[in-house]
Structure 1
Amino acid sequence: MSLIKREQAPLLRRGFRLQWEPRQDCHVLLYPEGMIKLNASAGQILSLVDGQRSVAAIIAQLTSSFPGVPGIDEDVLAFLEVAHAQFWIE
């Protein structure tokens, strides 16, 4: 059972910032103690996490951006659970 609910509007935890890092050629998540290099999917998902969009809206936007890709909703929910467990989002 998912701990992340589709009606929730997640946001980055205080002190964390997402940015594109040209030298790394990827999105990174910066925080006071360091940096997390993200893969393309994680960067896409976190770029939509703003505290305003619900999880359902994030899934809908990614589904429309990547039509025909099966399992986007499960992948987004699974990633957001990991991000929450790692204290990247609240």
Structure 2
Amino acid sequence: MTGALGEEDRVRLAPGVMLRQDRVRNHWQLLGPERVLILDEVALEVVRAATAQPPVTVGAAIGALATQFDAPRDEIAADVLEVLADMIAKGFLTR
């Protein structure tokens, strides 16, 4: 799939990637073959919302996060789309 990530898309963890908590270092990470992405609190919430089961659209994840954080949806949308696009570009998520 090519083009910009949109709210109608669905994302999932890329093959071989796991969401794991590193209890020793007290952080969450996406762990893939020969690579690690340490997640801050915001990125963790974005990943959890966007990769929820059953699969949801990016738009549904944005709506859930806007409600959860009582924030304007348009601001949340811009941030979520940016974070997800970056994680897709790095190979941690896929559409």
More helix by share: 2
**The structure with more strand, counted as a fraction of residues:** 2
Quote the offset at 1:23 in angstroms: 2.1
Matched residue count:
89
> Segments of 4+ in structure 1 off by > 3 A?
none
Q: Superposition RMSD on alpha carbons, in Å?
A: 1.8
Rounded to whole Å, the distance in 1 between the matches of 2:80 and 2:59 is 10
Please list every run of 5 or more consecutive structure 1 residues that lacks an aligned counterpart in the other structure.
none
TM-score, normalised by the number of residues in structure 1: 0.87
In 2 relative to 1, CA 50–11 (structure 1 residues): closer, same or farther, beyond 3 Å?
farther
Q: Deviations over 1:46-84 (max 9, x none)?
A: 112147110001101101110035711100011111111
Work out the percentage of aligned pairs sharing the same amino acid.
24
Counterpart Cα distance in 2 of 1:22 and 1:69? 33
